[in-house]
Amino acid sequence: MHLKNYTKPILLAVALVLVAWGLPPLEDANAQDDRIFNSRFGLVDAYENAPVAFQSGAGWEAFELRWDLLQPSSASEWNAEAIPEERFSNARNANREMVGILVGTPAWATGGPAGSGVPSGLFQPPSDSSNVWASFVRQAVNYYTARGVNRWVIWNEPDTATWSGSIEEYYQLVKTAYIVAKEANPNALIHLGGITSRDPGWFNQLAIVAAGDPTAAPNDFYFDVASLHVYYDAERIHDLTANTYFAMSQQGIPLKPVWVNEMNARPAVDPLAYPGPTDFNSNPNITMALQASFVVQAYALGFSAGADRLAVYRLVDDFTLDDQEAFGLVREDVRPGPPTPPIRLPRANWQAGDLRAASMSKLTH
C-alpha cells in the first residue's frame, strides 16, 4: 500500500485539491455556510444515506442498474420496483448527476454463467429481437432517461470474473450499447466499465480491438469515457490514468475523458465498525487516518494525471456486499451533522477518530 504518511505530501495534496475544486483556503472554510457541489467529486451508492450525501457536496454518484433484477425471468419483464424511485428523486433534488451501471446477465439471457455470461445474440444487429442485450439497453435508456440518467457504464470490472466473455465480446457489448443508447437518447454518454489495476495491458488490448474495427472511427470508437477502479495505491491512480490516455493515443483514438469510478483504502482499524478483532489477509493495518490520507492523495494524483472525475467507493459501509469489510466513508448508523462546509480538509489539529464519526463533515471525503 503506497501511502506517504507524513506531512508535506499531504499538504501538497491538499493544495492541489483546493485548486482543482476551487474551494476557499483552509483558514476560510469555517466561514462557508452554503453547500458546494462539485461535479468532479463523486460517491458510489450515495443514495444509501441521502442526507449525508447531500452534506458531502458530491456532484455525481454511480450505482448499478442490474439487468438480472430488472428482467429476472424474461425479456418481456420490467421489474421497475427493484430500483426504488426514491434513488433518482434524491439525486435530482441534491443536484447530483447520476451514472447508471448496466451489469448482470440474467440466466435466461445467456448460455454462459448467470451474472457474467455473454448475452445471447450479441453479434446480431441491434434491431434484431434475438439480440437480448440490445433490447435491454433500449428499454433501460428509455425508462431511466426520464428519471435523469444520461450516463451509462457498460458492465463492472470487465477485466475480472464479473465478465466471462473475451475482450472482443466485451467490445461488442459496448458497441451495441452505444448504438442503441444514442438512438434512444442522443444525449446519452457511454462509459467503459471500470477496469481494475490487475492487468495494466487490458485497456490497451481493448483499444487495439476498437482500432481494428473499420466502423469505429466514424462512430467515435463507440465510447465517450474510459473508467478505472483503483484501491490502496494512490500513485497507481496517476500511472493508470496516464497509461489510459497513452493507449488511446497509440491506437489513434481521440482522447476521451478518464474517470476513476472507484477508489478507496478500507480501514482495518475502527473499533466502532468492527466490534471484534479483525483478521484481514491484505492491508490489515490501515487506520482511519490513512484512509483520509489516501482519499486526498488519490484526488490530487488523479487530477495531476488528467483524470476528469473521481469517486470514492463507497459512502456507507455495506458488510454484506463487501464481505465484512468497512469500505464506507461513514458507518451505517451515521446521521448528518449541523450545517458545515461540505468539504473539510485535514488540519494540524484534525484527529483520526473523526474520520468515521457521526458527521461526514469531519473529513474531506
* DSSP label at residue 83: S
CB atoms within 10 A of CB 82: 13
Is residue 140 over pLDDT 60?
A: yes
Give the start-to-end residue ranges of the domains of the chain.
Answer: 7-23+38-332
Angle between helices 167-184 and 132-145 (to 10 degrees): 40
Is residue 27 over pLDDT 50?
A: no
Over residues 248-285, the pLDDT tens digits come to: 999 999 999 999 999 999 999 988 888 888 889 899 99
H-only helix segments in 313-352: none
Mean of the per-residue pLDDT values of the chain: 85
Lowest mean pLDDT among 16-20, 50-54, 183-187: 16-20
Measured CA to CA, the distance from residue 194 to residue 9 in angstroms comes to 28
pTM for the whole thing?
0.86
CA distance to 19, 154, 210, 305, per residue, from 167 (Å): 38, 13, 10, 26
Residue closest to 88 by CA, chosen among 48, 150, 147: 147
Measured CA to CA, the distance from residue 223 to residue 131 in angstroms comes to 20
Cis peptide before 96 (omega within 30 of 0): no
Q: Starting at the earlier edge strand, list the strands of the sheet with 97-103.
A: 189-192, 149-154, 97-103, 58-66, 38-44, 309-312, 258-264, 226-231
Q: Which amino acid is at 204?
A: N
Is residue 333 over pLDDT 70?
A: yes
Over residues 51-110, the pLDDT tens digits come to: 999 988 899 999 999 999 999 999 999 999 999 999 999 999 999 999 999 999 999 999
Beta bridge partners of 260: 228, 310
Q: Specify the CATH number for 7-23+38-332; select among 3.40.50.720, 3.30.1360.80, 3.20.20.80, 1.10.760.10.
A: 3.20.20.80
Burial class of 360 by CB neighbour count within 10 A (0 to 12, 13 to 18, 19+): buried
Over residues 40-49, the pLDDT tens digits come to: 999 999 999 9
- The residue written with cell numbers 434491431 in the block is 127
